[in-house]
Chain A
C-alpha cells in the first residue's frame, strides 16, 4: 500500500523537578492546509492524536477562515486540563500534502488556542487512513489508498 512518510517533530521541554535535564518530546506533527466552506485557507500544524474522538482545531482560526462561530452547531468537549469547552463544528478540507487530502466535520475549540495547532482524531481522520507510528525510527506513515 503506498504511504507518505512524515518525520516526528522534536519539541524541547525545559527542566522540571521530575526531569531535571529537561526532555525532548517527539510528536507526530505535520503541516496542514485547512480550507473552510468559505473558500478561505490557513496553513498550520496538526498533531495526529489517536486519543481524540474527532478532529479539532483552535477556535481562533475560525475568523481567519471567514467562519462565524455563533452560527455553528456546538457541543462540549474536554481534554486533560480543560473541560466543558464550547466547540463549534463545520466541514473543512484538510490537506497534508502528497495526495493526503480529506473533508472532515471539525470542531473549533478554545481549548486549543494556547497551543495553536489542530488535532486529527478518530472520527474524520483515523477512520479514513491507516497510520503507522514508528517512534523508534522517528517517523510515522499515512497510507494514501
Chain B
C-alpha cells in the first residue's frame, strides 16, 4: 500500500519565509498563508477548507539536523 506525496518545492515557492501555510490535500493547492498558525487556519476555514494540512515555509532552505 503506497501513499501519495506533495511537491512542497512548487507549492511553497513564492511564499514568505516563516509563514504558516494551509494546504488543501484534496486539491493540492495553498488555500491560506499567514504569519500566525491560527490566522492561517481561520483563513482556510473561511474558504470552506476545514481540515487543511499546515506547514511552515522554511526561513532558509538550509540543511536539517535534529
Which A residues fall within an 8 A CB radius of B? 2-7, 9-14, 16, 23, 25, 27, 30-31, 41-45, 47, 49, 51-52, 60-61, 63-64, 79-81, 97-98, 114-117, 119, 139
Contacts and interface: CB of A to CB of B under 8 A. Distances in A.
A64 B2 CA distance: 30
B36 to A, nearest CB: 8
Nearest to B19: A116
Interface residues of B, number: 30
A97 B37 contact: no
Interface string B26-57: 00000000000110010000000001111110
Could you tell me the dominant secondary structure of chain A's interface residues? strand
B59 interface: yes
Interface of B is mostly: loop
B56 A114 contact: yes
B53 A43 contact: yes
A57 B18 CA distance: 17
A43 B5 CA distance: 15
Contacts of B65: 80-81
A42 B7 CA distance: 20
B54 A6 contact: no
A116 B56 contact: yes
A51 B8 CA distance: 24
Contacts of B66: 47, 49, 51-52, 79-80, 115, 119
Given A23-B63, A80-B65, A45 B55 contact: yes
Given A7-B3, A31-B25, A42-B54, A13 B61 contact: yes
A51 B65 CA distance: 10
A14 B60 CA distance: 8
Max count, chain A CB within 10 A of own CB: residue among B5, B41, B62, B65: B5
A43 B64 contact: no
B1 A12 contact: no
Contact of A60 (B25, B37, B52): B37
